[in-house]
Amino acid sequence: MQQPSTPDHYGDLGIQQSAALPQIRKAYLEQAKKYHPDKQAPGETIDAEDFRRVQEAWEVLRDESRRAEYDQGYADIHREWQKYRKWQKSVDPFEIRRRAREREKRRRARKTEEVRRQARLLREGFEAAGRELDAASSRLERERIEREKMAAERDECRRRMESTDSWMEEAERLLKMILEDVAKM
């Protein structure tokens, strides 16, 4: 992290922070002459940004309330920067990297465990579905065998009935013959 960029109005005018308004005005006029585009010698080029910075410094530092606000903000930023630098010196970058690797390792372990848990649940679901499918298949097989037995019994019963009918017819025929033989006697 770089030091925060705050315009250095005192540095732009080349004065100390404790300078009074007349000193600020004098420094502004000197810097304005130095960087003003119309005051340059022919063929000499000056960056317009330099003149803009001098103008901005004058606008801020000539007004007491804006100057106090600038000084307070600059002090706050400087204080925060110093805190950061102190913290930065107290922290070992290798320790930060080690902790980051440990966090990543724990995150991957949690993710791996979650994937394993989901795979286990999926496997258990497939196994349960397989057991249900096997049970349904067995039940259907038993029902098929039962239907075949019932069909065989029905066919046997029909055959017996048919054979019983012919037996009865045969018995009636024999009975008639016997009765005829008895009547002839």
> For 129-159, what is each residue's pLDDT tens digit?
999 999 999 999 999 999 999 888 888 877 7
Query: What is the band of 33 on the pLDDT scale with cuts at 50, 70, 90?
Result: confident
Q: How far is CA 33 from the centre of its chain?
A: 59
pLDDT of residue 4 exceeding 50: no
Distance CA 53, CA 15 (A): 14
Distance CA 142, CA 148 (A): 10
CB 6 within 8 A of CB 77: yes
DSSP assignment of 54-113: HHHHHHHHSSHHHHHHHHHHHHHHHHHHHHHHHHHHHS-HHHHHHHHHHHHHHHHHHHHH
Distance CA 136, CA 149 (A): 20
Whole-number pLDDT of residue 113: 96
Query: What is the band of 96 on the pLDDT scale with cuts at 50, 70, 90?
Result: confident
Domain 9-90: assigned CATH number? 1.10.287.110
Nearest to 151 by CA among 143, 141, 162: 143
pLDDT of residue 1 exceeding 60: no
pTM exceeding the 0.85 threshold for the entire prediction: no
